Amino acid sequence: MMGRLLGGIAYSLLFSIFEAWLIGAHTENGIKKYLSKSFTLAAYANSVVAIIAGLVGHHAASASKMVPILHKETLYVGGYISPFDISMGALVLCGVLALLLWEENFGDNNNSNNLHDHTAWHEGWKNACVATFRSPDILLCGVVSSLFEGSMYIFVFFWTPAITKAASVAGQEDDAAAVPLGLVFSTFMICCMAGSSLFSILVAAGHKCERIAVGVLAVACVSMALTAMYSSRVSTSSNDTTTHLLWTMNLFEMTIGLYFPCIATLKSVIVPDAHRVAIYNLFRIPLNAIVLMSLLTKWTPTQSFHLCTGMLLTATILQWILLKRRERHGSLVAGGAGKPTDDAEDIAPELELEREDSWSV
């Protein structure tokens, strides 16, 4: 239980501080126009790492049985523990590298010199809430990301049972267990990579991030609706259903690959740097609530996919509102190194504007 509690905290940190540091480092070095490119590469590399982790984990777990080192069963090695040991090694290395390679960066530039201000920790949190609820842009962006990422987690929980069931009903009862889940996972990750690359193509072609996001969410919504449809047809299914299911799932994975660099670029502009991590974590509250809900209610994969479709539809509409809002203000996020001539100037003044926006209490 303790492990899960700690893991939960680590999870929140993983999805906010790294991104925040990257944005901070870009701002400091005046290379903000490469930010979307960085996010693309990070997402791409992340998918590669996922595949590598899958392979390493599989070999480590199957290489040896779990055996106690000492007599009294205090310390085990091998088996399913091995991936965790490797993971630990990676973490140690990660910490060392962070110490060696990274410079410290703070959100609150104004107050970075009075670090002994101990009362401030909840202050920052409060300011983040205030900033979020004062700016409709931040709020919309946050809700959109919660909805999309929520449906992504639900998808992650349910794709295995959905596809296994489809394959088993389709007349492969004897080898239903033989669905190559590792291969399917790798296929997903490869689609994710293709999605990330597609994002950088779109940015290079001069499309604005808000507009890309609307398209991405709409496609995600359609692919989820199709996934739900095919998974509901499983009982009457033929082999084709499994294949169709697989393709629509792949399409959804591709939108995931597009989504992450896209939303990261958007958030890098919309969210004020001072409270970046706090606000990112605020966004994660509804996300976790959605995931908890889906874990606690015992829904079938099909029902869950339907829920996801609804959530994605809502996200699409909200993102469209965000697009219209920002269009009116004439402050769309270009986000790329695609057209270096005006992009660099485009982003910088807008950042100032956003910051003033949320500070003007």
Contact between 300 and another protein (CB under 8 A)? no
Contact between 49 and another protein (CB under 8 A)? yes
Least Å distance, CB 348 to another protein, is 13
Region near another protein per CB under 8 A, out of 133-141, 209-217, 290-298, 350-358 = 290-298
Contact between 197 and another protein (CB under 8 A)? yes
Question: 183 is written with which tokens?
Answer: 């291969």
Question: 101 is written with which tokens?
Answer: 């390679």
Region near another protein per CB under 8 A, out of 45-53, 222-230, 261-269, 351-359 = 45-53
Least Å distance, CB 115 to another protein, is 8
Ramachandran angles phi, psi of 156, nearest 5°: -60, -40
Task: Find the binder of another protein among 78, 116, 213, 285 (CB under 8 A).
Answer: 285
Is the alpha carbon torsion for 202, 203, 207, 213 positive or negative? positive
Alpha-carbon distance of 273 to 262, in angstroms, equals 18
Task: Find the binder of another protein among 78, 232, 233, 288 (CB under 8 A).
Answer: 288
Per CB under 8 A, contacts with another protein among 60-79 are: 61, 66, 73-76, 79
x/- map, 198-217, another protein, by CB under 8 A: x-xx--x-------------
Alpha-carbon distance of 6 to 305, in angstroms, equals 29
* CA end-to-end distance (rounded Å), the chain: 42
Alpha-carbon distance of 331 to 324, in angstroms, equals 10
Task: Find the binder of another protein among 42, 176, 332, 348 (CB under 8 A).
Answer: 42
Contact between 176 and another protein (CB under 8 A)? no
How many chain residues touch another protein (CB under 8 A)? 124
Task: Find the binder of another protein among 36, 78, 108, 113 (CB under 8 A).
Answer: 108
Contact between 170 and another protein (CB under 8 A)? yes
**Nearest Cα to Cα of residue 288 among 6, 4, 5, 8:** 8
Contact between 121 and another protein (CB under 8 A)? yes
DSSP state of 328: H
Contact between 190 and another protein (CB under 8 A)? yes
x/- map, 241-280, another protein, by CB under 8 A: -xx--xx--x-----------------------xxxxx-x
Alpha helices in the chain (DSSP H): 2-14, 17-28, 35-63, 81-101, 120-134, 136-169, 181-204, 209-232, 239-270, 276-296, 301-328, 340-359
**Nearest Cα to Cα of residue 269 among 215, 213, 204:** 213
